[in-house]
Amino acid sequence: MLKTIEVEGLRFRYHTADVLHDISFCLERGQMVGLLGANGAGKTTTLKILTGILPPGAGRVRINGFSLPEQALEAKRIIGYVPESPGVYESLTALEYLQLIGRLREIEENRLKEKILTLLEIFDIEKQRFSRLATFSKGMRQKVLITAALLHDPPILLLDEPLTGLDVSTSLIFKDLLHALSQEGKTILYSSHILDVVEKMCNRVLIIHQGSLIADDTLDSLKNQNKGGSLEEVFRQLTQAGSTTPTVSRALGAMKL
């Protein structure tokens, strides 16, 4: 199989804190892989490095054979990225924003217009396309960001909590769309801390814990190795999270102080 994402010995530091230690994994064409981890585990940093936004501290990162950060431009051309925080130009309208992204990616004008209108219609925000993004809700902005990531039909999709704020019907559409895209041969790295969603959508899982990759396997294999029933239990065993009962009791106590 063709390797689309190759990461070897990746390290990264923010200021004085070590964020990623020696991470290595490989994704192939047509794979949909879940990237799991607690808050602050290093998922978003990993995605930002793969997208070319952050330079890797050490190690080797290749996207479809393009080495990062040297060939970041080439890599960015074939990546669709949905960031965790919906940063947009608030004074642009949804249409203007998407036109800007499409034109920066050199999509031909007529095709671009058709793509934008169709995707906005699918995500049910077609009527708001002339409204400034400042007036959009979190979910509506997320829909715009997803549309922006899909516009150029990228072979690699890097998704950081893409379902945040989405309504139920759009979530269902988006999940089915991801399945279809994966079957079409696109590589999808899906970062989330919501285990149920990853369990339903991905057949392979990467788990990052405190900056280290502690698991990289198929769901079935992970379940077999850890004698666990659900991904939640596997995650708990691997991250040595233990039982939540004492923590819950402490939280209840703190609330009643």
Partner 1 sequence: MTSYLSLRNKLLETRAIRKLFRALGIDSQQYRLLLDLFRTLGSRQEFMGTKLNLNKAVGFYFALSLLISLAVFARLPLQVYLLITLGYNMLLLFLVVVQDASNSLLNPAESSVLAHQPILGSTYVAAKLTHIFVLVAAFVFALNLAPAVAGLYLSGTRWYYPFSHLMAAFLAGLFIAFLVCSLCGWLFLFVAPAKLKNAAIWMQLIAFLAPVFLFRLVRFSLEERALAGVTAKAIGSSWMPWRWFVALGLLGHSRYPEFSAWEAGAGCMMTFVLMALGFRAFQKDYLINASTLVQGSARSTIRSSDWSSLGLFIGRLTGGQSGRGAFSFASIMLRRDWHFRRQIFPFILAVLMSLIGPIIKGAIASPFVQAQGFSLVYLIPQAFGFLSIVACSMVSYTAEPQGASLFIALPVGRLRPLARGVYLSLWIPIVGVPHLFLLVSCTWLWGVKDALLFIFFSLSLVSLYLSLMLLRIEGLPFANPFRVSVVSDMNVIIPIAIVLGAIISGLQWLLFHRVALVFGSAVMLSLLAFVTAHINLGKVESEFAKNLQLLACPPQTILKESE
For residue 99, the number of C-alpha atoms closer than 13 Å in the C-beta half-sphere is: 11
Which range, of 24-32, 49-57, 208-216, 244-252, touches partner 1 by CB under 8 A?
Answer: 49-57
d(CA 169, CA 215): 32
Q: Please report whether residue 69 would count as binding partner 1 according to CB under 8 A.
A: yes
Stretch that binds partner 1, among 73-81, 188-196, 198-206, 210-218 (CB under 8 A): 73-81
Contact pick of 103, 111, 200, 250 for partner 1 (by CB under 8 A): 103
**Residues 25, 255: Cα–Cα separation, whole Å:** 42
Among positions 23, 27, 33, 101, the unique one binding partner 1 when judged by CB under 8 A: 101
Does 106 interact with partner 1 (rule: CB under 8 A)?
yes
CB of 150 to partner 1, least distance (A): 14
How many Å apart are CA 42 and CA 18, to the nearest integer?
10
With H, G, I as helix, E, B as strand and everything else as coil, classify residue 104: helix
Choose between 66 and 235: whose C-beta lies nearer to partner 1.
66
The Cα 113–Cα 89 span in angstroms is 19
The 10 Å Cβ neighbour count of residue 19 is 21
| Contact residues: partner 1, CB under 8 A | 14-17, 51-55, 69, 72-74, 76-77, 79, 81, 83, 85, 87-93, 95-96, 100-101, 103-106, 130-132, 134-135
